[in-house]
Amino acid sequence: MNIKSKIKNYKLEFIENSLQKKDEIFSSITFRKPYYFIDKNFYDIYKERIDAITYNNFVIIIAAEENNKSYLKLAEYFRALVENKFTRGDLLVTFGGGILQDISGFIASTLYRGIKWMYFPTTLLAQSDSCIGSKTSINFDNSKNLIGTFYPPDIIINDATFSKTLSPEYFNSGLGEIIKFHLMSDEKGYSLLKKYLAYPDLRSNAFFKRIIKSTLKIKYSYFKGDEFDSGRRNLLNYGHCFGHALESATNFKVCHGEAVIVGMGFANLLSLRRGIMSKEKYEEFESILRRFYPRFDIGKVSVDDLIYHLGRDKKRTGNDLTMILSQDIGKQYKYDDLKEDEIRNIYTEFTGNYHA
């Protein structure tokens, strides 16, 4: 995929077994020295291959934890690069999921006012969603993604084989975004989703690579005319308003994509009760989402905590709360008039019906 951006155009290449193709991959970009940011879980699994790639170059191993992408933590990464003589002629290379992507993207956009950056997304969520779109997001205090910039990698290497070593939790996290995008597409995209989900093995069935590419194409269709999130791209927050609040209220015990699955379920119930979504469509969507709800007792989460974090959502524009609600396939709309009592009532009903 060649992606046009007002910041800089960039490309995404689908390359399997990429850890064995260093020379081929790195020959596509000019740089002086590589510096590496690598997710700890990924490094532990692929240590020998990663060591062969990085050799004697600078490496930081970072645990994929939300507190590691706080604004206070960033100083450590900036200091490490500067003290190890990173220059504008060098290349930041990242292996990791969304957390490492956010850290790297923010640093790449601000260090020396912009540096070269290559990204290997290693989680299904990053491969099928966050790797494109240019967003970088940093946590502020206990609020998720409150600070950020827009800055894409120069090149993205998308290797589907990495998904084979993901934990069930992190694989489901990617499925959350895959499901979301196809509920926001059209009947053709929705049909592909149902074919993919019909297989018992979701990591390597006949539609696995197709569903990743389809998800990326759907996302691109939403942001190519709205890169800086001022219009239609806002709708991609379907499931995210409540999902981000759930992540923050649980101190990130629920991972992002699974929180989005719960967030879509909550938004759909709210849509049903407002008369926006039909009962038949609600039950149809819920039958898909219910398969992937995280094994988490959502009833223990205080609705007051959720409302507090909904109130700090960066998409909020007025005094009331904001959420993306859904009518049908490809028919999602932004509502800025949600009242706290409405959230409380729907939450009571939702938790009563929730089955992990």
Position 94 scores a pLDDT of 98
| Confidence band, pLDDT 50/70/90 cuts, at residue 43 | very high
Q: Is residue 298 located within the same domain as residue 342?
A: yes
Question: Which of these, 64, 81, 292, lies nearest to 174 by C-alpha position?
Answer: 292
Q: Is residue 219 located within the same domain as residue 308?
A: yes
Task: Give the other-Cβ count within 10 Å of 142's Cβ.
Answer: 17
Residue type, 216: L
Q: Is residue 189 located within the same domain as residue 334?
A: yes
CA 340 to CA 349: how far, in whole Å? 15
Q: Is residue 161 located within the same domain as residue 174?
A: no
Q: Is residue 187 located within the same domain as residue 332?
A: yes
CATH number of the domain to which 179 belongs: 1.20.1090.10
Q: Is residue 131 located within the same domain as residue 200?
A: no
Q: Is residue 181 located within the same domain as residue 46?
A: no
pTM: 0.92
Q: Is residue 23 located within the same domain as residue 134?
A: yes
**Domain finish residue from 102, 137, 165:** 165
**Domain finish residue from 149, 165, 181:** 165
Position 142 scores a pLDDT of 78
| Confidence band, pLDDT 50/70/90 cuts, at residue 231 | confident
Residue 324 φ/ψ, nearest 5 degrees: -90, 120
Q: Which residue has the tokens 């988490």?
A: 296
More confident: 314 or 124: 124
Range of lowest pLDDT (8-12, 100-104, 113-117, 221-225)? 221-225
| Confidence band, pLDDT 50/70/90 cuts, at residue 319 | confident
CA 129 to CA 15: how far, in whole Å? 17
| Confidence band, pLDDT 50/70/90 cuts, at residue 313 | confident
**Which two structure tokens, joined as six digits, stand for 265?**
């379920």
**Domain finish residue from 114, 148, 165:** 165
Q: Is residue 160 located within the same domain as residue 137?
A: yes
**Has residue 355 got a pLDDT over 90?**
no
- Are the beta carbons of 258 and 173 closer than 8 angstroms? yes
Torsion angle of C-alpha atoms 352, 258, 322, 349, degrees rounded to 10: 0
Q: Is residue 157 located within the same domain as residue 230?
A: no
CA 40 to CA 60: how far, in whole Å? 9
What range does the domain containing 188 cover?
168-353
pLDDT in tens, 44-66: 999 999 999 999 999 999 999 99
| Confidence band, pLDDT 50/70/90 cuts, at residue 321 | very high
Question: Which of these, 58, 33, 29, lies nearest to 154 by C-alpha position?
Answer: 29
Number of domains in the chain: 2
Residue 155 φ/ψ, nearest 5 degrees: -150, 140
Task: Give the other-Cβ count within 10 Å of 67's Cβ.
Answer: 13
CATH number of the domain to which 29 belongs: 3.40.50.1970
Q: Which residue has the tokens 């206990």?
A: 142
Q: Is residue 145 located within the same domain as residue 23?
A: yes
What is the distance in angstroms between the CA of the first residue and the CA of the last residue of the chain?
Answer: 37
Q: Is residue 218 located within the same domain as residue 270?
A: yes
Q: Which residue has the tokens 């609705």?
A: 303
